[in-house]
Amino acid sequence: MGKVVDFRQKIIDGLKTLYPIMDVDWYDGLFDEQDIADWTLKTPCARVAVMASKSENTFTGELNALLRVVVVLIDENKHVSLDGDSRAWDMVETVATWANQNQFGHPDAAPAQNIQFKRISQPVLRREGVSVGVVEWQSDLMIGINKVLQREFFYDQNGQMITKVPSSRVSILGHVQTAAGLSGDETVDVTPEVP
């Protein structure tokens, strides 16, 4: 699994934790009325798309992918006419707050930024009692191979980075004689501590 797909899955898993009863899945970034009609069969539900907008080169040789993340939230009226609207706004606000500055548990992701959210107003959907909200943000994700780690560090035969090196014990032996004529040998341990 690539890093982008893994990152998208972490967002999906996070949304499932945020809303345990919600049906959460991915989609390709485009949707129409038929998609919404299909999704309303599973309300409340969320669909997550992660799309690359552009990338930047870094000194490590990796690409900093500037990802555009879009979460579509769908609910429908339950008990009272138009009560889906307040629930959809609540979900939009909750997801926007949750996404803000979140790395979604991915070690190579930067905190989410540029959060945007809105409710989609469409007369046909309103008449059918469907409420749709969208939350969008930018997440930067480092992808590729870090050339600095390849060049600057040593690896064992299994490909694992060597982080501890053998240490040696260093002692200094000196002969000390005082002005009073006393003398003796002094040993000092100067072994550096390895973290």
Residue 56 is encoded by which pair of tokens? 């930047």
pLDDT tens string 37-94? 888 788 888 999 998 778 888 778 788 899 999 999 988 877 666 666 788 889 999 9
Q: What is the DSSP string of 10-65?
A: HHHHHHHHHSTTSEEEE--S---HHHHHHHGGG-SEEEEEEEEEEEEE-TTS-EEE
**Torsion over CA: 150, 156, 160, 163 (sign):** negative
Q: Label residue 192 by pLDDT band (50, 70, 90).
A: low
Residue 189 amino acid letter? D
pLDDT in the model for residue 79: 64
Question: Do you know the residue count of the chain?
Answer: 195
pLDDT in the model for residue 119: 87
pLDDT tens string 82-140? 666 788 889 999 999 999 999 999 999 999 999 999 988 777 777 777 888 999 999 99
pLDDT in the model for residue 195: 53
Give the pLDDT mean for 166-184: 72
Q: Residue-wise over 139-155: b if at least 16 C-beta within 10 A, else e?
A: bbbbbbeeeeeeeeeee
Domains of the chain by range and CATH?
A: 3-148 (3.30.2000.10)
pLDDT in the model for residue 145: 80
Asked if residues 67 and 140 have their Cβ atoms less than 8 Å apart, the reply is yes
pLDDT in the model for residue 15: 95
Helix (H, G, I), strand (E, B) or coil at 74: strand
